[in-house]
Copies of this chain bind each other. A is one copy, B any other.
Amino acid sequence: MGTWEQKLEKYAELIVRVGVNVQKGQEVFVLASIEIADLVRKVAAKAYEAGAGNVHVDWTDEGLTRLKYEKAADDVFTRFPEWETAKRNEFVAKGAAFISFSSPNPDLLQGIEPSRIGNYQKAAGNGLSEFRRAIQADKVSWTVVAASTKDWATKVFPDSASESEAVDRLWQAIFQAVRLDSPDPVKAWEEHNAALVKKSDWLNEHRFVKLHYRAPGTDLTVELPAKHLWVAAGSTSESGVPFMANMPTEEVFTVPLKTGVNGHVSSTKPLSQGGNLIDGFKLTFENGRIVEAVAEKGQEFLRQLIDSDEGAHYLGEVALVPHESPISQSNILFLNTLFDENASNHLAIGSGYAFNLEGGKQMSREQLQEHGVNESIVHSDFMIGSAEMDIDGIRQDGTVVPIFRKGNWASQA
């Protein structure tokens, strides 16, 4: 077996062991492009070796997706099939592990009538709302991981001599970001997670009531709920199994108080949103609500995102990532949120995670809302970090503690 095959196999093992941490008898649900069938088969093999019950793969094909957006009738995009909803819920009920491969062409849907995209986002968001709440409360183990595909790779490395060179370069970047080059990746992830947990512990000890962001184009205050919890991507499912929700991950994050966001914030990287790019945008908040949204590029898609529902007018996540994080230092613009969010401080439009609140995993939807956790059919991270960003934490007694200075953790943190 050549080095390449060995690499892919190591990656498959990392996803199965660290990503979702497959348990004996557990069902596994995989979402993947048909273009990466080779890797998916390796993941399935490793999952069965870990004792998985059935490995189900939901294959996607962007060629078909594009065709549909180009050619189907308008009303097709307003529907989401009942069986799709039932399928996800059935897997959640069985305590399945969910592996999602992210490998999208960042402008797959360029030129498509925005209302089609918006309508389908709404339909799918509603159809998958029960599933999404289960994920956001860690009822099951889940992970989002990446795979290199032609259309994505050629956008990230447009200067490549060939498509296959671009695909290889993107694989190398992915492997590096997920620490596959270390002699023992599983151990490297334990250490990495411990380092992130140390940061979240420090933040939790301070019980900040408010964050204050300052950077060119940004002056924003974000209040935090009294019971907010800072966490890293390492999490624990309802049945007590630790897993890693994103790979790569470099963030520590919590939930903002829904109505406690004020000021304005500017994006620092393009956002690939539903097959289109939104870039150079600025959001203005009053009491948590977005009251103005202007984009240099993709204004209509930004509008569509915010208009998904009432909750999409509010934030659901506040995440800290130092500018010197390895993904940021690679200086690659991945045009894929899984990577770009881990190269930059970011916020998320839409729903908040139940696990970001003390006792939140056991709370009802109503209780979460009472504690200021936003609910929406969307959750979309957008990047605001830069080498010029300062962040202060304000404590109950008014003390101001520097958290970030010039894009990186302040010396106190």
Chain A residues with CB under 8 Å of chain B are 25, 34, 37, 40-41, 44-45, 48-49, 51-57, 59, 61, 63-64, 67-68, 70-73, 75-76, 79, 81-83, 86-87, 90
Contact = CB atoms under 8 A, between A and B. Distances in A.
B79 A90 contact: no
Nearest to A59: B59
A217 to B, nearest CB: 42
Contact of A82 (B52, B75, B90): B90
A72 to B, nearest CB: 6
B67 A44 contact: yes
A41 B61 contact: yes
Contacts of A44: 64, 67-68
Nearest to A88: B83
B76 A87 contact: no
Contact of A48 (B56, B71, B87): B71
A55 B64 contact: yes
Contact of A81 (B57, B71, B76, B90): B90
Given A34-B37, A53-B73, A53-B76, 4 more contacts: A44-B67, A44-B68, A53-B75, A83-B83
A89 to B, nearest CB: 8
14 contacts: A25-B73, A40-B61, A40-B64, A44-B64, A48-B70, A51-B73, A53-B72, A54-B68, A54-B76, A54-B79, A55-B72, A56-B81, A57-B64, A82-B90
A55 B71 CA distance: 11
A37 to B, nearest CB: 6
A56 B87 CA distance: 15
A44 B63 CA distance: 10
Given A34-B34, A57-B61, A45 B68 contact: no
A83 B76 contact: no
B86 A82 contact: yes
Contact of A37 (B54, B61, B83): B61
Contacts of A71: 45, 48-49
Given A41-B64, A59-B61, A83 B90 contact: yes
Contacts of A40: 61, 64
A394 B70 CA distance: 58
A42 B61 CA distance: 13
Listed from nearest, the 4 A-B pairs whose CB atoms lie closest are A48-B71, A59-B59, A83-B87, A34-B34
A273 B63 CA distance: 33
Contacts of A37: 34, 61, 63
A71 B42 CA distance: 12
